[in-house]
Amino acid sequence: MAPFEGRTVLVVGTGLVGTSVGLALTRAGVDVRLADAKPEILAEAVRLGAGRPEPDGPGEPAALAVVAVPPEAVAEVIGEVLESRRAEYATDVASVKVLPTMQVRERVADPGRYVGSHPMAGREVSGPNAALADLFEGRPWVICPDDGTHQQAVTRALAVARLVGATPMTMTAAEHDAAVALVSHTPHVVAALMAGRLAGAPGHEVRLAGPGVTDVTRIASGDPELWTEILTANAAAVRPVLEGLRTDLDRLMAALETPVAGQPVLRELLRGGVDGRSRLPGKHGAAHTEFATVIVAVEDKPGQLAALFADAGAAGVNVEDVRIEHAAGQPLGLVELDVRPGAEDELAASLRERGWTIRG
Amino acid sequence: MAPFEGRTVLVVGTGLVGTSVGLALTRAGVDVRLADAKPEILAEAVRLGAGRPEPDGPGEPAALAVVAVPPEAVAEVIGEVLESRRAEYATDVASVKVLPTMQVRERVADPGRYVGSHPMAGREVSGPNAALADLFEGRPWVICPDDGTHQQAVTRALAVARLVGATPMTMTAAEHDAAVALVSHTPHVVAALMAGRLAGAPGHEVRLAGPGVTDVTRIASGDPELWTEILTANAAAVRPVLEGLRTDLDRLMAALETPVAGQPVLRELLRGGVDGRSRLPGKHGAAHTEFATVIVAVEDKPGQLAALFADAGAAGVNVEDVRIEHAAGQPLGLVELDVRPGAEDELAASLRERGWTIRG
């Protein structure tokens, strides 16, 4: 906590993210002050140990304010906090960055005291009670300085990101918004539109659904209100990605409408999918690794997974990833264990020896 | 094996699917004969115990031929097998059904002796060596009779589906093709086009990718050659689904281009995604169930998962599903345990007591 030695950090807005920041900074030894428009929400965050309430009246300004309020309130709160000198510098945590940056510029005499940031972590639930001191552990925390940003604002925001255990990255607000449009907002649109096709489909069609469409549509169950706001706020960055997608979709539909020998367009688009997929980061931020998979049939009852993992552990093979697939109409699940290529035979043999039914 | 008492089943094509059918039928006590154009592939299937080679020359016809050859060869092989009376009835296993049904009609004097079928199981690998006696266990096996199909063809194909452990379903070839267009082929297109957007993206954008886009694009790594064939063969059924998708995409893009208060179109489309997603079958073919999730931080080393599942088992809570998420840049993984709603507090408390770091 050297960067905040003898100083305080102010967290404004003690919902899930604000309270998690407070808990993590407090654990790291930082003196955290908390504020929230709702006294009961503030009291809850204090009770959980996220910090102490911000004292009333003028006093020593905080070294940095972390403003964790709903996106539409960000600029107003940042403006108030900086102009009233409750803090020397301020950052926010909203998932879109160009819009708040522009809004802050219009409101603050010295907008260089603000730097936008986006911790890429969250939960399906909200409120201080859902907060976790290690919510940001190992997650990217993007910080978006521009030419006018004071170095101290960046240094202090980076210090917060590191103190809460996140992996800080810096890029411009426009780069950030383009990146989340590509890797978060467009995938949400794609999943939602695909899932939408299932909504009116006959039952016998939906009954044939397997693990593929289940994966593709998983994120489509996200809150439509929240996603309407996110997509609207980042429309400028999402639209070009959707336009590229629309062009590819048109080309693919034309290739299906008028097939030609060898279907070169279809092949090219499907190969592009394989290429793009291979660029996704694998575990530990390393390049994407293809694992070998051992498939085990297990009965669907308590203790089976425990026994399986105990036996896998006894084989001395590290399980890198695991998926469970349930067979329709059967009290039986398939557990897919991903292991480093080369270790699959050893694991399969060892599990077979211990009486497991191996399918792969 | 009553349906095949004193009779034989002929499997033509001893790759992954044919050999798996042979293994499963043999295990069920059926007398299986095998044939393959490549002698070494046939020999391998025989060696694995999938059946005995079909005797040369005329003899008692098999009760049913299961033709498991590449899609483009299906009609020719079915025609030959039926016309030469190597089998009384025949079925195939291709993943598209209208096209082979039409082709068989053109080739066979009595096309009612053929019934199309589609066992919805497979593996990433191919060949007899990858075959598994329980490949079809609990999987849907669709059988597609039409008005001209002999009842015996249907009865015998159903018997095979049941004997190999699959869950048989009957529908028309057109219904089947529409169903797989919706739940399998269109999701593949969507995943591939989304993944294609990542192919040319800057590295700093791809580095922000999280579990959402990883799920959406997982199936995009499927073989482009195979998927080019599948999409081309089922183009007539895939196109209307893609047209619906494109209409929705256009509406969504228009809503982002010209936002209106409350964004009703965007909301409606995102809600449609939530609705469609909720129709996907859950485990055991039951309606989709939302589980409660307990998130546990584990170190990335052998034995950790074993210890975790042992402790979860000791809590007496059945883990319904599990996902592992690896944090970028950290030797730490998050394990998400899905349990029946209501059981999450008990499991979390029990794991916490045993020293685990719970995040949810």
pLDDT at residue B282 is higher than 80: no
Taking a C-beta distance cutoff of 8 angstroms, is the pair B212, A187 a contact?
A: yes
What Cα–Cα distance (Å) separates residue B260 from each residue in A227, B13, B45, B243, B277? 15, 59, 64, 25, 26
**Quick check: B207 and A242 CB within 8 A?**
no
CB-CB: which of B137, B263, B317 is closest to A330? B137
Taking a C-beta distance cutoff of 8 angstroms, is the pair A69, A50 a contact?
A: no
- Band of pLDDT at residue B281, cut at 50, 70 and 90: low
Each residue of A60-109: pLDDT tens digit?
999 999 999 988 899 999 999 999 999 999 999 999 999 999 999 999 99
- Calpha distance A334→A267 (Å, rounded): 32
Q: SS3 breakdown of chain A: % helix, strand, coil, rounded to 5?
A: 50, 15, 35
pLDDT of residue B231: 95
Mean residue pLDDT across chain B: 89
**Quick check: A281 and B328 CB within 8 A?**
yes
Tell me the two tokens of residue A276: 């793009």
Each residue of A144-155: pLDDT tens digit?
999 999 999 999
pLDDT of residue B285: 42
pLDDT of residue B283: 43
CB-CB: which of B218, B279, B360 is closest to A198? B279
Average pLDDT over residues B213-233: 92
pLDDT at residue A168 is higher than 60: yes
Question: How many other β-carbons are positioned within 10 Å of the β-carbon of residue A57?
Answer: 4
- Calpha distance B295→A302 (Å, rounded): 18
**Quick check: A285 and B198 CB within 8 A?**
no
Average pLDDT over residues A285-311: 71
Q: Which of A160-164, A241-245, B128-132, B194-198 has the lowest mean pLDDT?
A: B128-132
- Band of pLDDT at residue A284, cut at 50, 70 and 90: very low
pLDDT of residue B288: 44
Give buried/exposed letters for B145-182 (b at 16+ CB in 10 A, else e). beeebbebbbebbbbbbebbbbbbbbbbbebbbbbbbb
- What is the rounded radius of gyration, in angstroms, for the C-alpha atoms of chain A? 25
- Contacts of residue A175 in chain B, CB cutoff 8 Å? 204-205
CB-CB: which of B194, B235, B313 is closest to A306? B313
Place of tokens 């329709």: A328
pLDDT of residue A287: 44
- Calpha distance B324→B319 (Å, rounded): 14
pLDDT at residue B48 is higher than 60: yes
> CA angle, corner A139, sides to A136 and A142, nearest 5?
100
Average pLDDT over residues A27-36: 97
- Band of pLDDT at residue A319, cut at 50, 70 and 90: confident
pLDDT of residue A124: 59
Q: In terms of C-beta density within 10 A (0-12 exposed, 13-18 middle, 19 or more buried), how is residue A111 classed?
A: buried
Q: SS3 breakdown of chain B: % helix, strand, coil, rounded to 5?
A: 50, 20, 30
B181 to chain A: closest CA residue: A205
- Calpha distance B163→B3 (Å, rounded): 10
Nearest CA to CA, how far is B175 from chain A (Å)? 8
What beta strand segments (E) does A122-180 contain?
140-144, 167-170
- Calpha distance A292→A340 (Å, rounded): 6
CA atoms within 13 A on the CB side of B111: 16
- Calpha distance A307→B318 (Å, rounded): 13
DSSP class of residue A8? E
pLDDT of residue A263: 95
The alpha carbon of B57 is separated from its chain's Cα centroid by a whole number of angstroms, namely 37
At a CB cut-off of 8 Å and minimum separation 6, what does A59 contact?
A: none
The alpha carbon of A267 is separated from its chain's Cα centroid by a whole number of angstroms, namely 32
Closest CA to B256 of A321, A181, A65, A270: A181
- Contacts of residue B320 in chain A, CB cutoff 8 Å? 324
Question: How many other β-carbons are positioned within 10 Å of the β-carbon of residue B37?
Answer: 12
**Quick check: A198 and B280 CB within 8 A?**
yes
What beta strand segments (E) does chain A contain?
8-12, 31-35, 52-53, 64-67, 90-92, 114-119, 140-144, 167-170, 292-299, 321-326, 332-339, 357-358
What Cα–Cα distance (Å) separates residue B355 from each residue in B296, B298, B307, B351? 11, 11, 11, 7
CB-CB: which of B167, B217, B244 is closest to A197? B244
> CA angle, corner A51, sides to A45 and A55, nearest 5?
105
pLDDT of residue A285: 42
H-run or E-run covering B101: helix B98-107
**Quick check: B327 and A302 CB within 8 A?**
no
At a CB cut-off of 8 Å and minimum separation 6, what does B159 contact?
A: B3, B4, B64
- Band of pLDDT at residue B286, cut at 50, 70 and 90: very low
- Band of pLDDT at residue A123, cut at 50, 70 and 90: low
Domains of chain B: 2-171 (3.40.50.720), 176-258 (1.10.3660.10), 292-358 (3.30.70.260)
Each residue of A178-194: pLDDT tens digit?
999 999 999 999 999 99
ipTM score of the complex?
0.77
B22 phi, psi to nearest 5 deg: -60, -45
DSSP class of residue A71? G
CB-CB: which of A167, A249, A302 is closest to B242? A249
DSSP β-ladder status, B62-67 and B52-53: unpaired
**Among residues of chain B, what percentage have pLDDT more than 90?**
67
Beta bridge partners of A65: A10, A90
- Calpha distance A185→A180 (Å, rounded): 6
Taking a C-beta distance cutoff of 8 angstroms, is the pair A145, A153 a contact?
A: yes
**3-class DSSP state for residue B170?**
strand
**Quick check: A196 and B276 CB within 8 A?**
yes
- Band of pLDDT at residue B101, cut at 50, 70 and 90: very high
pLDDT at residue A286 is higher than 70: no
Average pLDDT over residues B298-311: 77
**Quick check: B239 and A256 CB within 8 A?**
yes
- Contacts of residue A142 in chain B, CB cutoff 8 Å? 208
- What is the rounded radius of gyration, in angstroms, for the C-alpha atoms of chain B? 25
What Cα–Cα distance (Å) separates residue A259 from each residue in A245, A265, B107, B240? 21, 10, 24, 16
* Strand ranges of the sheet holding B321-326, from the earlier edge strand across to the other edge: B321-326, B332-339, B292-299, B357-358
DSSP β-ladder status, B292-299 and B167-170: unpaired
- Contacts of residue A293 in chain B, CB cutoff 8 Å? 124
Each residue of A202-223: pLDDT tens digit?
998 998 998 899 999 999 998 8
pLDDT of residue A15: 95
